[in-house]
């Protein structure tokens, strides 16, 4: 099938991008003067946050489309996207903690707005998965999940703007700087090139993971249908 060949091609392309991105992070991007080698976490930390936000945005859109059309394919998109978003949010939290250990001498400063709101966002979408697991009726599960996915997205912009609207020690690399932030660093041209390449790479990675996960979910649903048909025969 053409779709299978396209997916295989995307898998290979994504793998090559990841290799090049990793090489750029450790070999092309210069060493940051203030933070040193630990600053290289930035090239994975921010793109993972971007992928998580993108995944939750797709869940929001898919939820709206499901409520409008009652097409279960949109529910499948929402579920698969949330699973990816939860993984990348956790990656963002862990990489941020590793960064914080060096910059702030505190891996998890309680009360820091960005860390707190990002953790809440992660818990919101973990709860989304728990909600789905706790409802047996398929139609009710899909409808409740769609509504939850729409409402839960409120946590995403709150997380993004938390360090701008409140006093925070979290650095603001792009946009208006927070005077209370620590660890800010001006990005050189090679740093910016590496960052945007990593951002592009992680975006492609998201598309690749979503496609593969949706394919797996479709096959799983097909197996369940065949099992039901066999048992009813």
Give the pLDDT confidence score for residue 9 in this predicted structure: 93
CA-angle at 89, arms to 204 and 206, nearest 5°: 15
166 confidence band (pLDDT: 50, 70, 90): low
Can you read off the two tokens belonging to residue 34? Answer: 């203030």
Least confident of 6-10, 168-172, 208-212, 225-229: 168-172
**Does the pTM of the predicted model rise above 0.75?**
yes
CA atoms within 13 A on the CB side of 85: 31
* Interval 62-71 mean pLDDT: 95
List CB contacts of 21: < 8 A, sequence separation 6 or more.
43, 194, 197, 198, 201
- For 137-158, what is each residue's pLDDT tens digit? 989 999 999 999 999 999 999 8
Instruction: List the beta bridge partners of residue 214.
Output: none
Torsion of CA 182, 85, 199, 38, to 10 degrees: 40
Share of the chain above pLDDT 90, in %: 56
Instruction: List the beta bridge partners of residue 36.
Output: 32
Least Cα distance to 78 among 64, 90, 88, 93 occurs for: 64
CA end-to-end distance (rounded Å), the chain: 31
Angle at which helix 138-152 crosses helix 113-134, to 10 degrees, equals 170
* Interval 76-86 mean pLDDT: 96
Least confident of 30-39, 63-72, 107-116, 188-197: 107-116
């Amino acid at each position: 099938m053409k779709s299978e060949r396209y997916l295989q091609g995307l898998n290979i392309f994504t793998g090559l991008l990841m290799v090049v991105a990793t090489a750029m992070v450790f070999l092309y991007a210069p060493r940051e003067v203030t933070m040193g080698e630990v600053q290289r976490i930035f090239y994975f930390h921010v793109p993972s946050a971007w992928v998580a936000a993108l995944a939750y945005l797709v869940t929001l859109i898919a939820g709206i489309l499901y409520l409008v059309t009652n097409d279960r394919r949109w529910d499948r998109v929402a579920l698969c996207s949330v699973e990816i978003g939860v993984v990348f949010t956790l990656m963002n939290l862990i990489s941020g903690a590793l960064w914080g250990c060096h910059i702030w001498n505190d891996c998890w400063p309680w009360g820091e707005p960005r860390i707190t709101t990002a953790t809440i966002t992660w818990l919101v979408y973990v709860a989304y998965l728990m909600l789905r697991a706790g409802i047996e009726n398929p139609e009710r599960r899909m409808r409740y999940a769609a509504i939850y996915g729409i409402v839960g997205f409120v946590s995403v912009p709150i997380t993004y703007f938390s360090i701008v609207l409140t006093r925070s020690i979290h650095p603001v690399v792009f946009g208006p700087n927070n005077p209370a932030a620590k660890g800010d660093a001006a990005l050189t041209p090679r740093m910016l090139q590496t960052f945007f390449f990593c951002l592009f790479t992680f975006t492609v990675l998201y598309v690749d993971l979503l496609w593969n996960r949706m394919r797996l979910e479709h096959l799983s649903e097909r197996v369940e249908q065949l099992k039901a048909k066999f048992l009813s025969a």
